[in-house]
Chain A
Amino acid sequence: MWAFFQWIFMNIWYGLTLNRVKRLFQGGNDVSTPIVQVRNLTKRIGSKTIIDHLNFDVQRGEVFGFLGPNGAGKTTTIRMMVGLIGITEGDVLIEGQSISENFERAIVHVGAIVENPEMYKYLSGYQNLIHFARMVPGVTKDRIEEVIRLVALENRIHDKVRTYSLGMRQRLGVAQALLHKPSLLILDEPTNGLDPAGIRELREYLHGLTREAGISVIVSSHLLSEMELMCDRVAIIQQGKLVDVQSIKELIKEGADSQVIFEVDQMELARKLLAQEPVVDAQEKAEGLLMVLDREQIAEVNERLVQGGVKVFGIQKVTQTLEEKFLQLTGGEQIV
């Protein structure tokens, strides 16, 4: 009998603790509201409008990309989001708190690296972390040690930052951003100056953060290939205006999902066979026959070719790259 009560009690207790843990990760706020709400965000300097009425939301636990050519206003937008630059019009809400009116209560949810992770070079990595830990209530020595282990800087943490490599500085930058367990991480051009290995490391790390800790991440970059691998959704901005917000999957898929290349042995015969099909318009390419088909048609075309005696070595979907899509969206303006 007692064992039964104990069992029930334990279950309730665990349930409560679990909820509490969940709430901790979610920043104690309503899960359904977006973690970031950008409303009519505008920056004017003199008569020049640099950022023009941006509107978008960032959902919990997603990696949100900020894509645009250099000078499009990515950095300005990010700086407005963290309060480094004043907002002319509109607002940014983080966890429901206005960054312009309630700066301290909004920014406490944010960890950020704006452009390069510039630390005090004459201090050690550890002293840098102490410095930033002191500025937020509730960061313990244990937490600092934990973050150091997380970014694998245990061996060099007491060396001066002056002696660090760029990759190590980047990791120290991530460490200072995570000290206070933010629910939103903002990284401006985080891959700048990193070598491919460093970029990959960072990317895996970001994915880990969003999956395991439920942190939302905003990254900006002018490197499309990077964004393609890192982000769930991207906002494309150009000349201070929002061009589009799309999920990476849609962005790549949309309008381009039906270009298919058939690699065949007898190109002429295949064309003749397909000429009878009214909907298929096959073009000869070096790799094979290129045609625009939907899912069902791929199977039909394949069947016809095989029945007609054509050997099919391969069927390949040609996906439009993010780059092509981007050029299409921004009217061909070159980036990178």
Chain B
Amino acid sequence: MFNLFLNENMKIYRRARTWMLVVLLVLTTIAFLVAQQYTVKPSQVASSDWRTNVQQQITNDQKMLDNLGTNTDRKPRLEARVKLNQYHLDHNIPPTDQTLWGNMLKASSLVMVVTVFTVIIAAESVAGEFSGGTIKMLLIRPTSRSKILLSKYLSTLVFSVLLFVILFISAFVVSGALQGFQDVGVPYVYASSDGILHESNIIQQAVSTYLYSSVQMIMIVTLAFMISTVFRSSSIAIALSLVTMFGGSSIAGFLAQYNWAKYYLFENTDLTQYLTGTPMIPGMTLGFSVTVLIVYFLVFNVLAWVVFKRRDVTA
């Protein structure tokens, strides 16, 4: 089994294409963060010193609170922000979005790029053996088909972890280069839904943000792997799973008005909805979402396994 895993890794990392994806990921991270840095942010233009900016924001928010009138919806949010900013000033803690960590957290949306690249590798993993005819060579060895499929799946997941780590490290280095590393140790301050302020470890916060966004990645990669196995075509697998990812998540908001949509995959992939306490559809709980995710995960994998095990190889 370990040998099979080594084989699959050899087939991934001995290809120039794989390393092109890695380089592309680093370049995308750099481009993304540079663009973020030099895009004008309305609330922060005033000064390079964060204290001035925060003071300015407090003044603005207070003005807005005074003029709010009957519109009370926004009141709690504005009050929380004032409180938070005041805390930053009182304790001399720069707000996260003015340190390198702000950029780090924004770069977590690049997990989507990691997903796309891993989908490419996942799609090629099984379908590539069929289109190249090497599947015949692979399946006439004294090894069960299940083990071969498992080693392919595991090596794909390990590749996604590699890209994930590369994204995290390069985002950290680039953010630091742009904003300086002096604020690397600041705590993360946030207001929970009841308006109470909390301080937490910023590294823990960054890692968990990245990990939360990896839930959707694992589901999409598993989907791509399944399609690759069932259709034996890497292009179909790439196209279908990316359409599912972009299309599927964009209609999640629309579908949220229907109660049955809580069984829909993309209502459940964002687990951060339970941190803020406002789930996509009322009545959903963390346990419910995790169960739905596990069911989808098992269905994808079992389908791939059954098809792969029974397939007549005529390629």
Residues of A with Cβ closer than 8 Å to B?
79, 82-86, 103-105, 107-108, 110, 112, 114-123, 127, 130-132, 134-137, 176
Contact = CB atoms under 8 A, between A and B. Distances in A.
A84 B141 contact: no
Contacts of B141: 107, 132, 135-136
Contacts of B144: 103-104
A83 B133 contact: no
A131 B129 CA distance: 14
B143 A84 contact: no
A297 to B, nearest CB: 53
Interface size on B, as a range, is 20 to 34
A253 to B, nearest CB: 36
Contacts of B314: 79, 85
B313 A84 contact: yes
Contacts of A117: 137
A86 B14 contact: no
B298 interface: no
Interface string B1-45: 001101100110011100000000000000000000000000000
B140 A108 contact: no
30 contacts: A79-B314, A83-B140, A84-B139, A84-B140, A84-B312, A85-B312, A85-B314, A86-B312, A104-B143, A104-B144, A107-B142, A112-B140, A114-B136, A115-B136, A117-B137, A118-B137, A119-B137, A122-B14, A122-B15, A122-B16, A123-B10, A123-B14, A127-B10, A132-B137, A132-B141, A134-B3, A134-B7, A135-B141, A136-B141, A176-B137
B91 interface: no
A295 to B, nearest CB: 48
Given A127-B10, A135-B138, A176-B137, 7 more contacts: A79-B312, A84-B140, A86-B310, A103-B142, A112-B140, A135-B3, A135-B4
B132 interface: yes
B276 interface: no
Contacts of A83: 139-140
A76 B136 CA distance: 13
A39 to B, nearest CB: 20
A104 B146 CA distance: 12
Interface string B195-239: 000000000000000000000000000000000000000000000
Contacts of B259: none
Contacts of B7: 131, 134-135
B142 A127 contact: no
B143 A116 contact: no
Interface string B125-160: 000000011101111111110000000000000000
Contact of B133 (A85, A110, A116, A136): A116
A118 to B, nearest CB: 3
A103 B142 CA distance: 7
Contacts of A127: 10, 14
A79 B310 CA distance: 14
B133 to A, nearest CB: 3
Interface string B168-186: 0000000000000000000
Contacts of A121: 132
A87 to B, nearest CB: 10
Closest CB pairs A-B (n = 6): A118-B133, A135-B141, A134-B3, A84-B313, A104-B142, A108-B142
Nearest to B15: A122
Nearest to A82: B140
Contacts of B11: 120, 123, 131
B232 to A, nearest CB: 14
B134 A119 contact: yes
A66 to B, nearest CB: 17
B309 to A, nearest CB: 10
A135 B142 contact: yes
Contacts of A120: 11, 132, 134
A187 to B, nearest CB: 12
Interface in B263-301: none
B229 to A, nearest CB: 16
A116 B141 CA distance: 17
A79 B15 CA distance: 30
A136 to B, nearest CB: 6
A135 B11 CA distance: 14
Contact of B140 (A86, A110, A130, A137): A110
B5 to A, nearest CB: 10
A118 B11 CA distance: 15
Contacts of A105: 142
Nearest to B144: A104
A316 B15 CA distance: 62
A105 B143 CA distance: 10
B235 to A, nearest CB: 18
* Residue of B10, B16, B137 with most chain A CB atoms under a 10 A cut-off: B137
A123 B137 CA distance: 14
A5 B120 CA distance: 71
Nearest to B148: A135
A118 B3 contact: no
B267 to A, nearest CB: 40
Contact of A134 (B6, B15, B136, B137): B6
A123 B138 CA distance: 15
A178 B146 CA distance: 25
A93 to B, nearest CB: 16
A75 B134 CA distance: 16
A86 to B, nearest CB: 6
* Residue of B3, B15, B136, B312 with most chain A CB atoms under a 10 A cut-off: B136
B14 A118 contact: no
A83 B14 CA distance: 29
Nearest to A107: B142
Nearest to B14: A123
* Residue of A114, A115, A119 with most chain B CB atoms under a 10 A cut-off: A114
Interface in B237-252: none
Interface string B82-117: 000000000000000000000000000000000000
